[in-house]
Structure 1
Amino acid sequence: MITEIAQIEIHPGQEHDFEEAVAQARPSFLAADGCHGVDLHRSIEHPSRYRLVVRWDTVEHHTAGFRNSEGFARWRDLAGPYFAAPPQVEHVHSVLG
């Protein structure tokens, strides 16, 4: 199991609309092969900064599977207009047992 963490900066003043767009896109993530959940976290110190956290079976489920799917296109269509910059994405795994 790996975790995708995407730091997303959005245009100030569009937080509510962005959160609604992510809520609409959430089923596209959950329907993807290998996806085990998705959460959205908003920064307290920087209210226009978010972390999208998605749990995948493997990196390939995200990069080769989801990114080449209609679900990904839907996610970008819904949330992309709010991006102030391209998301910064990394994949991590737990090192504590």
Structure 2
Amino acid sequence: MVTEIAQIEVKPGTEKDFEAAVVKAKPLFQRARGCGGMELHKSVEKPTRYRLFVKWATLENHTVDFRGSEDFQAWRGLVGQYFVAPPDVEHTETVVS
């Protein structure tokens, strides 16, 4: 299992619209190959900063299958207008639980 962590900065004043767009986009992740769920977290100290956590069965499920899909394009179409800059994305593996 691989966890994608995307740090997303949104334009001030668009937080609620961004959150609503992520709710609309949730089915895109739910039907993606290898996706085991997603969560969106909002920073308490920096209210325009979010972190998107997505569980993937394999790295390729995210980097190849999802990013190469029409659903990825739909995701970016729903949320991209709120981004200050492209998200900073990394992938992690659990080493201690």
The alpha-carbon deviation at position 10 of structure 1 amounts to 0.3
Alignment of 1:6-21 (within 5 A): 6-21=6-21
Aligned AA for 1:32? Answer: A
Structure 1 residue 70 corresponds to structure 2 residue 73: no
The residue number in structure 2 matching 1:2 is 2
Q: Secondary structure at the match of 2:50?
A: strand
- Which runs of 5 or more structure 2 residues have no equivalent in the other structure? none
Report the Cα offset of residue 70 of structure 1.
Answer: 1.1
- Identify the residue that residue 52 of structure 1 maps to in structure 2: 52
Question: Does the residue aligned with 2:84 lie in a helix, a strand or coil?
Answer: coil
Structure-2 separation of matches of 1:15 and 1:82: 8
| Structure 1 unmatched runs, 5+ | none
The residue identity in structure 2 corresponding to 1:64 is V
Aligned equivalents of 1:95 and 1:68: distance in 2?
A: 28
> Quick one: distance in 2 between partners of 1:48 and 1:93?
27
**Residue in 2 that maps onto 1:33:** 33
SS of the counterpart of 2:5? strand
What is the count of residue pairs matched by the alignment?
Answer: 97
TM-score of the two chains, using structure 2 as the length reference = 0.98
Deviation at 1:34, TM superposition (A): 0.1
Q: CA deviation at 1:13?
A: 0.5
TM-score, length of structure 1 as denominator length: 0.98
- 2:67 aligned counterpart, secondary structure: helix
Partners in 2 of 1:85 and 1:69 — Cα distance? Answer: 21
Secondary structure, aligned partner of 1:68:
coil
Aligned sequence identity (%): 58
